[in-house]
Each structure stands twice: as structure tokens, then as C-alpha cells.
Amino acid sequence: DAGITQSPRHKVTETGTPVTLRCHQTENHRYMYWYRQDPGHGLRLIHYSYGVKDTDKGEVSDGYSVSRSKTEDFLLTLESATSSQTSVYFCAISRDPAYEQYFGPGTRLTVT
């Protein structure tokens, strides 16, 4: 696997609590992405970053925010978790938007 780690790998939280997921890369790639994977939906883009402090929304950004203060770290925050945000979250990186993306191992989030 490319040098991408995600933490935590598993989390159970209650509705209404804030949650932050971390993606860390050692590849020095400029672009970073957060996806969620749900049965029947494939992967859907939540937010992405094209540089430090440069982020933009994806297809399913409502209820999520991101931050990127360093090249290697991309944080995804659920300000107030809801049951509909129960999902598997993947981080990905790429050198360039035209290049392939490399994925982290995923975080399984359950909101009860």
C-alpha cells in the first residue's frame, strides 16, 4: 500500500457528537480526497484538497467539514454525527488529478 494511514480504523459514536477522522500520507502528494462507501452507492466524494489550506466540496459534503494545515494531513470532521453518516470512510491521495488515486485502509464509523 502507498504510505497512507487512517485513524481511527473503527469508531462507534452517538448521534449528535462531533467526530474527526484523520488521514496521514508520507508520499508528499498534493491532492487528497475523502470518500464514503455505502452499499449500492459505490464511492462518493465528500471533500477534496488541492493543496495546504485549499479545499473544495464534493458530491455529498453536507454535514462534513475538512481541514488541511499540512501537506501530509487531511482531517474530516462530522460536527454533529447522524445515523445517516454511518459508513466506511476512505482517504485517497494523488500526485495530479489526471493520475491514479491511492487509497488508505478505511475507517468504519457507526453512529448509534
Residue placing its CB nearer to another protein in the complex, 8 or 97? 97
Kindly tell me which residue out of 3, 22, 27, 50 binds another protein, with binding defined by CB under 8 A.
50
Question: Exposed, middle or buried by CB within 10 Å (0-12, 13-18, 19+), for 46?
Answer: buried
Residue whose C-alpha cell is 445515523: 83
Return the number of other C-beta atoms located less than 10 Å from residue 68's C-beta: 20
Residue placing its CB nearer to another protein in the complex, 16 or 97? 97
The Cα–Cα gap between 60 and 43 comes to: 10
Kindly tell me which residue out of 27, 44, 63, 86 binds another protein, with binding defined by CB under 8 A.
44
Can residue 34 be called a binding residue for another protein (CB under 8 A)? no
Q: Which of residues 59-98 bind another protein (CB under 8 A)?
A: 90, 92, 97-98
The dihedral formed by the CA atoms of 98, 87, 61 and 29, expressed in degrees to the nearest 10 = -30
CB of 37 to another protein, least distance (A): 9
- State residue 49 phi and psi, 5-degree precision: -130, 140
**Site for another protein, rule CB under 8 A:** 1, 4, 33, 35, 40-45, 48, 50, 56, 58, 90, 92, 97-98, 100-106
